[in-house]
Amino acid sequence: MRKLRRRKRKKTNTEKANLIHNYYSRTGFYRFVGLNLKKAILPIIGIVLAIFLFNKYVYNINDGLHHFTETFSRLGIFVTFFVSETLLGLIPPEMFIAWSKKTDDPFLNLAILATLSYSGGLISYFIGQAALKIKSVKKYLEVKMAKNLENTRKWGGILILVGAVLPLPFSIACLAAGMIKYPFKSVVLYGLFRFGRFAVYAWAIFSVVS
């Protein structure tokens, strides 16, 4: 009897997995992720290579980062980064990750950056919800973010995960989630992958910046 129940559960889980797989295939999710992975790999390699070549032949990045660290306050850098990560990811996080390497507590500052990025995305979710109450802003965002809203409606939390991991503005994915009133708990959960992204990028950048 137990074996029969287990078989039924396995069959049910397999059927669910097949349905999900078919849905993502039909809606173009795999193609979307594949294209963005290709876009992600080249920028990562390009950034690391550019930093290496620039550091070797043009200007010592370590001296520049040291100057940057001493010129701007730690609090000021964190505030700037947080505002950027909340408002559509205006400044590439890689700059701040490289900065953290030259500080006295690189891993602590990296953890703070990752937390600020994650928090900025969550705040973007509420900005998306609030935007719905202002007709002019709602209309503007619906036109400007039509593709993002369409994808979020189709793929939901998986798109949040993709935004957290790939070099796509995480805040835009969260903003779209807020606008379609996607469950906040799911945004919180899927958004945790943002910390993994910072860890991988830090590993790549820290290996170049001494």
Q: What DSSP string runs through 93-106?
A: HHHHHHHHHTSSSH
Q: Token digits for 140?
A: 């503007």
C-alpha distance from residue 136 to each of 83, 85, 89, 131, 142 (Å): 23, 23, 22, 9, 10
Among 88-97, 133-142, 190-199, the range of highest mean pLDDT = 190-199
Which candidate, 149, 139, 137, 143, places its Cα nearest to that of 178? 149
Residue with the larger pLDDT of the pair 29 and 173: 173
What is the pLDDT at residue 4? 47
Please give the Cα distance from 12 to 31 (Å, whole number): 27
What is the pLDDT at residue 112? 96
- Mean pLDDT in the chain? 77
Please give the Cα distance from 102 to 94 (Å, whole number): 13
b/e per residue 108-126 (b: at least 16 CB within 10 A): ebbbbbbebbbebbbbbbe
The arithmetic mean of pLDDT across residues 3-15, rounded, is 57
- Could you report the per-residue pLDDT of 92-130, keeping only the tens digit for each? 788 889 889 888 899 999 999 999 999 999 999 999 888
CA triple 142-144-146, angle to 5 deg: 55
CA atoms within a 13 Å half-sphere pointing along the CA-CB vector of 82? 13
Q: Which long-range contacts (CB under 8 A, 24 or more apart) does 19-23 make?
A: none
C-alpha distance from residue 35 to each of 67, 163, 176 (Å): 38, 13, 20
Number of residues assigned to the chain: 210
3-state secondary structure of 156: coil
Please give the Cα distance from 209 to 201 (Å, whole number): 12
What is the pLDDT at residue 73? 84
Contact 80, 91 (CB under 8 A): yes
Task: Indicate if the pLDDT at residue 166 is higher than 50.
Answer: yes
Range of lowest pLDDT (39-48, 139-148, 164-173, 180-189) = 39-48
Task: Indicate if the pLDDT at residue 51 is higher than 70.
Answer: no
The arithmetic mean of pLDDT across residues 7-33, rounded, is 66
Q: Which residue has the tokens 């590439």?
A: 92
Please give the Cα distance from 43 to 51 (Å, whole number): 12
What is the pLDDT at residue 24? 66
Please give the Cα distance from 38 to 198 (Å, whole number): 19
